[in-house]
Amino acid sequence: MIKLQSGNVLLKPSQRRQIAAVFRRCVRLGKRLGDFVLNISMRRSGRMYEIRADVHDRAGAFACRTRQNNWQDALRDLARSLALRLHEQRLQRAVAA
């Protein structure tokens, strides 16, 4: 499940769909772990966009944060780091079992 809090960033419906598409791999990995909740908060200060993701799943909880000039680049960077962390959790869980 993805929960988006756009804060002071104005997003069109098509941009919300883009956000869902970027995090599609993270959602698939999270569903395999179980009890997956992804909270994304966006904030703009000046020209910088700060995007923070809080992840809660059966394997644990963690947070990731990124700041970039462009919100699309920040989303891609955040999605990449989230996918890596979720993959690590999946591997650790497989080793422990």
Strand, coil or helix: what is 52?
strand
Q: What is the pLDDT of residue 22?
A: 94
Q: What is the pLDDT of residues 30-46, one digit of tens each?
A: 999 999 999 999 999 99
Average pLDDT over residues 15-29: 94
- Among residues 56, 58, 18, the alpha carbon closest in space to that of 39 is found at 56
Query: pTM of the entire structure?
Result: 0.90
What is the C-alpha to C-alpha distance for residues 73 and 1, in angstroms, rounded to an integer? 22
72-79, Cβ contacts within 8 angstroms, sequence gap of 24 or more:
72/18, 74/49, 74/50, 75/18, 75/19, 75/22, 75/23, 75/51, 76/22, 78/40, 78/51, 78/53, 79/22, 79/23, 79/25, 79/26
Domains of the chain with bracketed CATH: 2-96 (3.30.160.100)
* Arithmetic mean of pLDDT, 48-73: 95
**Model pLDDT, residue 18:** 94
Q: What is the pLDDT, as a whole number, of residue 94? A: 85
